[in-house]
Amino acid sequence: MYVFRAHFCCGISVLCDFAEELQTYFEQFGKVVEVVLKTEHETGLPRGFGFVGFADPASVDKVRIYVVLFCIKLKIS
């Protein structure tokens, strides 16, 4: 059993199932143990957000640092 923290992902295209692509991308930050894309209960259609769960909680911190640095870089450019 894993004890992990998850990273919230939003703005995911509702036209495709990106679970595999999300896992591949986020593996650069640590071992991914779960990718959950949320869907509407009644229709089964994607809701455009999900969660990526990591085995090591430090991986979530790595993602957050990367996002902050990326946003700072965008503001400077």
Higher-pLDDT residue of 20 and 5 is: 20
Q: Write the pLDDT tens digit of every residue in 62-73.
A: 888 887 776 666
pTM: 0.72
In the CATH scheme, what is the code of domain 5-76? 3.30.70.330
State whether residue 8 is helix, strand or coil.
strand
Q: Which residues of 7-36 are buried (b: 16+ CB within 10 A; e: fewer)?
A: bebeebeeeeebeeebeeebeebbebbebe
In the chain, where the domains are located = 5-76
Q: Are 38 and 47 in contact (CB under 8 A)?
A: yes
Choose the weakest-confidence range: 12-16, 49-53, 57-61, 62-66. Answer: 12-16
- Please tell me the predicted confidence (pLDDT) of residue 31: 92
Question: Whole-angstrom Cα distance, residue 57 to residue 43?
Answer: 33
- Please tell me the predicted confidence (pLDDT) of residue 42: 92
Q: Write the pLDDT tens digit of every residue in 19-54.
A: 788 888 889 999 998 888 888 899 888 888 888 888
